[in-house]
Chain A
């Protein structure tokens, strides 16, 4: 069980930090000037040359690999609900690393989503 918990923590941390790196990269790239094919292609070109994007991708790939490892050890009804912790860890990362203003209302919403996802995936 300790082995499962350690890998679960690494899996959640890798997934959240990968998403946070990509989010930071996209914020630095800046939003497309308009949602038209030309502007979206230009945005994509800039996004794919972002160092933060390419920092996030391997972290997310590692997270995916660790999910496969966890699924090979424990039943899916335990692994997937436990992975709902990502919502809380991701929000903590958004608050302390990305400096987003996470209001109490947003926290309540995130916690409800986290518990809801755990229940839906377990049931």
Chain B
């Protein structure tokens, strides 16, 4: 297997993991906050919401997945181009739409499907380019 091919597979796997962590984290956060209910914007209301938040297992699980997203994002950016990883990460929008339809049974408008199609086409095009186009970085401050 060539170095280029290995780099492409490694980047693809890490981007998939990154998208998975971000989406699961967002869904868990939404579920956790829905359980807590609308936060009242008063000192006592905020304190009450804070107490409920830090004692919610769902919220902690969401934070764990969002930390996973941050770590995978940092790791993949250590070798791949930012202009490659950033658009590839938008694939998450397509995954969320598919999950909404297949798992949650939601209805998605034709316009939104068109948007998902554009995202997929864009990600496929970016995926055809080399994941890394820069040489190792020299010294710059800080």
- Residues in B neighbouring A106, C-beta threshold 8 A: 83-84, 125-126, 129
3 cross-chain pairs, A with B, having the tightest CB-CB distances, nearest first = A119-B115, A112-B122, A116-B118
Distance between Cα atoms of A74 and B128 in the complex (Å): 37
Give the residue name and chain of the A residue nearest to B73 (CB): A22
Distance between Cα atoms of A110 and B127 in the complex (Å): 11
Asked if A55 is at the interface (CB within 8 A of a chain B CB), the reply is: yes
Q: Give the total number of A-B pairs whose CB atoms are below 8 A apart.
A: 148
A85-110 near B? 1/0 per residue, CB < 8 Å? 00100110111001111110110111
CB distance from A123 to the nearest CB of B (A): 4
B41-52 near A? 1/0 per residue, CB < 8 Å? 000000000000
CB pair A112 B119 closer than 8 Å: yes
Asked if B90 is at the interface (CB within 8 A of a chain A CB), the reply is: yes
CB distance from A77 to the nearest CB of B (A): 12
Q: Told that A35-B75, A100-B83, A112-B119 touch, could you supply 19 new A-B pairs with CB distance under 8 A?
A: A24-B137, A24-B140, A27-B136, A28-B137, A28-B140, A31-B75, A91-B86, A95-B83, A100-B134, A105-B125, A109-B87, A109-B121, A109-B123, A110-B122, A113-B90, A113-B122, A114-B122, A123-B109, A123-B111
B interface, CB within 8 angstroms of A: 10, 71, 74-75, 77-79, 81-84, 86-87, 90, 93, 97, 109, 111-112, 114-130, 133-134, 136-137, 140-142
CB pair B87 A94 closer than 8 Å: no
Give the residue name and chain of the B residue nearest to A112 (CB): B122
- Residues in A neighbouring B90, C-beta threshold 8 A: 87, 113, 116-117
Query: Which residue of the partner chain, among B77, B93, B130, contacts A26 with CB atoms under 8 Å?
Result: B77
Which residues of chain A (1-56) have a CB below 8 Å from chain B? 19-20, 22-24, 26-32, 35, 40, 43-44, 47, 51-53, 55
Give the residue name and chain of the A residue nearest to B128 (CB): A105
Asked if A61 is at the interface (CB within 8 A of a chain B CB), the reply is: no
CB distance from A24 to the nearest CB of B (A): 7
- Residues in A neighbouring B119, C-beta threshold 8 A: 112-113, 116-117, 120
- Residues in B neighbouring A98, C-beta threshold 8 A: 81-83, 134
Give the residue name and chain of the A residue nearest to B114 (CB): A119
